Amino acid sequence: MPLSAERLMSLLDDPGIDFDLTVPVVVIGGGACGLVAALSAHDQDAEVVVLERDPTPRGSTALSSGMITACGTELQKAAGITDDTPELFARDIQAKADGKADPDLLAAICAGSGLTIDWLVSAHDLDLVLVDGAPYPGHSRQRTHAPPTNSGSDLMADLLRAVDKAGIDVITNATVDNLIVEGEHVRGVQIIRPDDSTERLGCGALILASSGFGGNPGMVADYLPDMAGSFYFGHVGNKGDAVRWGQALGAACKNMGSFQGHGSVATPHASTVSWALLNGGGILVNGMGKRFCDESLGASELAATVCQQGKNVWSIIDRRLHDGALRFPDFAALKQLGAIKSGATATDLAHACSLPVEAFEKTLADLQKSPALAAPYYAIRVTGALLQTQGGLAIDKKARTLRPDGVALPNLFAGGGAAQGISGTDGTGYLSCNGLLSAVTLGRIAGFEAAKQASGLPTPASATCNRTYRT
Ligand SMILES: Cc1cc2nc3c(=O)[nH]c(=O)nc-3n(C[C@H](O)[C@H](O)[C@H](O)COP(=O)(O)OP(=O)(O)OC[C@H]3O[C@@H](n4cnc5c(N)ncnc54)[C@H](O)[C@@H]3O)c2cc1C
């Protein structure tokens, strides 16, 4: 990455600045939130451009399992689930967040979630299915939608196909480094290219979809001290730019201590090991061969605790769990990579993992967990990781960014990881799939509202948008 891409994100407040091009709606960030926002603005007949720092848009969305929760969808109804409601959905999220999600924002997200999925499927042919089987823990109905492959890369590929079909320009290799403002009003953005050249794009409304701050170690240390120095498993290009621009413009931030973590990421292979193995009887042990937590507390809740144990933490399972997990591609890949050690007895496994033999034997002998682990045993070295930050710019139910006094900034919208989350105030409040729920639903709302606002403004050169301006 060129040094320039790390420049301090800031504001240029100079009425003399001219633009190479002006479009009604500009979106910063080409992940799920940005692409959905662009589709939404486009469907309101607004010309829209997406700016993405990477050569290929991927974001944390491509690293995810592509699972999106939503209620009241046609896919749910087709599966016979007709009693899921925004109120029930909000109650589930609020229960996990300890009642600390903003109730108005949460209500708007839950109410908009089903519409968003139905619209993506019917208007943009997104290939989504309702996930089979029992709901994820904490969800009182099955409401998880995903690509048939459960792959975030496939979700991104499908969104990019839809955006391309709609004729929306996604400009890649385009890192926005400065917002160009007049007071609180955003006039446009400055883009820096890999060769250090700059371009300026004017806008009627700006949507910040550049996600959170997990890729910025300084901000992680400031806002999430328990996760400072931990492995960051999200998109490294998410450096907190939205928060820094918003703060410079006078916007408030909320829930900055909130995050989605994971206490079982295979290391150094960087692949999540399903928490279902620990819920199904597996245990975590530290370098002293001892258990250090109650695994039933959950993956995100224990991320920081696992990090505190240092670099020698093992997820211990038995043949029943091991053989059952082999049908999952990620686990099978770990097996192929040699990440899974095995031992016919506790002593053998302790030797294979260089754990103190006596202590580890005692840990297994004392184990009172149901179902009990039985020899032969297997172990995967794991670490705690930060997946996604959940705090960000304060927004209202129209995805408008807010000042500390609750007044909306004139033309600045935010969604997904860039905006305040609905996952409480720390690492314990994340209900599975809150991330993409916020990204796609707020993306749709932000695109709709930004298009509405920009259509009322004189946008000098929407007709001059040069469609060859892409890479
Ligand atoms: C391993 C893993 C698994 C996950 N699984 C799930 C799941 O199954 N379900 C779920 O709901 N959530 C999941 N999440 C969380 C989910 O991926 C995120 O909440 C979601 O993808 C955020 O979407 P976004 O569009 O806000 O951000 P991203 O998808 O991260 O997109 C942000 C984009 O902005 C670009 N950008 C940043 N700064 C700039 C700039 N200055 N100029 C231009 N571009 C910029 C970035 O390059 C990036 O492409 C998972 C996360 C991880 C890490």
| Partners of 433 in beta bridges | none
Question: Reduced to 3 states, what is the DSSP secondary structure of residue 284?
Answer: strand
Boundary (domain end) residue, out of 319, 352, 386: 386
Q: Which of 33, 58, 60 to mutate to test the pocket of ligand 1 (most atoms within 8 A of CB)?
A: 60
Q: 212 CB less than 6 Å from ligand 1?
A: no
pLDDT-derived band at 371 (thresholds 50, 70, 90) equals confident
Question: Does residue 248 sit in the same domain as residue 328?
Answer: no
What pLDDT does residue 466 have? Answer: 33
Interatomic CA distance for residues 43 and 40, integer angstroms: 5
Q: 27 CB less than 6 Å from ligand 1?
A: no
Question: Does residue 132 sit in the same domain as residue 18?
Answer: yes
Quick check: 146 and 117 in contact, CB under 8 A? no
What pLDDT does residue 318 have? Answer: 97
Distance (Å) from CA 239 to ligand 1 centroid? 11
Taking residues 5-16, what's their average pLDDT?
75
Distance (Å) from CA 434 to ligand 1 centroid? 12
Atom 37 of ligand 1, nearest CA residue: 210
What pLDDT does residue 397 have? Answer: 97
Quick check: 22 and 201 in contact, CB under 8 A? yes
Q: Which of 388, 422, 444 to mutate to test the pocket of ligand 1 (most atoms within 8 A of CB)?
A: 388
Give the ligand 1 atom nearest the CA of 415. Answer: 26
Q: 216 CB less than 6 Å from ligand 1?
A: no
pLDDT-derived band at 370 (thresholds 50, 70, 90) equals confident
Boundary (domain end) residue, out of 348, 368, 386: 386
424 CB neighbour count, 10 Å cutoff = 25
pLDDT-derived band at 241 (thresholds 50, 70, 90) equals very high
Q: 300 CB less than 6 Å from ligand 1?
A: no
pLDDT in tens, 289-306: 999 999 999 999 999 999
pLDDT-derived band at 240 (thresholds 50, 70, 90) equals very high
Question: What's the chain's average pLDDT?
Answer: 93
Q: 233 CB less than 6 Å from ligand 1?
A: yes
Query: Domain containing 283 — which CATH number?
Result: 3.90.700.10
Question: Does residue 216 sit in the same domain as residue 289?
Answer: no
Atom 11 of ligand 1, nearest CA residue: 433
Quick check: 452 and 446 in contact, CB under 8 A? no
Quick check: 35 and 205 in contact, CB under 8 A? no
Question: Does residue 236 sit in the same domain as residue 359?
Answer: no
What pLDDT does residue 137 have? Answer: 86
Interatomic CA distance for residues 293 and 262, integer angstroms: 14
Question: Does residue 304 sit in the same domain as residue 188?
Answer: no
325's tokens: 């997990």
Interatomic CA distance for residues 408 and 399, integer angstroms: 9
Question: Does residue 192 sit in the same domain as residue 49?
Answer: yes
Give the ligand 1 atom nearest the CA of 238. Answer: 37
- Has this prediction a pTM greater than 0.85? yes
Question: Does residue 179 sit in the same domain as residue 248?
Answer: yes
Lookup result for tokens 């686990």:
331
> Is residue 3's pLDDT more than 50?
no
Interatomic CA distance for residues 220 and 138, integer angstroms: 27
Is 173 domain-assigned?
yes
What pLDDT does residue 459 have? Answer: 44
pLDDT in tens, 82-113: 999 999 999 999 999 999 999 999 999 999 99
Helix axis angle for 103-124 and 86-96, nearest 10°, is 120
What pLDDT does residue 457 have? Answer: 56
Atom 18 of ligand 1, nearest CA residue: 435
Question: Does residue 327 sit in the same domain as residue 394?
Answer: no
Is 470 domain-assigned?
no
> Is residue 345's pLDDT more than 50?
yes
56's tokens: 């290929």
Atom 33 of ligand 1, nearest CA residue: 29
State what percent of residues in the chain have pLDDT above 90.
90
Question: Does residue 348 sit in the same domain as residue 217?
Answer: no
Boundary (domain end) residue, out of 386, 401, 425: 386
H or E element, residue 316: strand 313-318
Is 441 domain-assigned?
yes
Listed in sequence order, the residues at least 6 apart from 63 whose beta carbon sits closer than 8 Å to its beta carbon are 152, 233, 234, 235
Is 471 domain-assigned?
no
Taking residues 52-70, what's their average pLDDT?
97
Listed in sequence order, the residues at least 6 apart from 354 whose beta carbon sits closer than 8 Å to its beta carbon are none
Q: Which of 175, 211, 328 to mutate to test the pocket of ligand 1 (most atoms within 8 A of CB)?
A: 211
Q: Dump strand ranges (E) for 338-415.
A: 340-343, 377-389, 392-393, 400-402, 408-414
228's tokens: 């400072």
Number of domain units in the chain: 2
Q: Are strands 408-414 and 198-208 parallel, antiparallel or unpaired?
A: parallel
The torsion angles phi and psi of 335, rounded to 5 degrees, stand at -60, -45
> Is residue 275's pLDDT more than 80?
yes
Distance (Å) from CA 236 to ligand 1 centroid? 10
How many secondary structure helices (H) and strands (E) does the chain include?
A: 15, 21
pLDDT-derived band at 8 (thresholds 50, 70, 90) equals low
Instruction: State which residues form the domain around 453.
Output: 3-257+390-464
Distance (Å) from CA 432 to ligand 1 centroid? 15
> Is residue 46's pLDDT more than 90?
yes
Distance (Å) from CA 320 to ligand 1 centroid? 34
pLDDT in tens, 377-434: 999 999 999 999 999 999 999 999 999 999 999 999 999 999 999 999 999 999 999 9
Is 404 domain-assigned?
yes
Q: 262 CB less than 6 Å from ligand 1?
A: no
pLDDT in tens, 156-211: 999 999 999 999 999 999 999 999 999 999 999 999 999 999 999 999 999 999 99
Give the ligand 1 atom nearest the CA of 66. Answer: 8
Question: Does residue 346 sit in the same domain as residue 448?
Answer: no
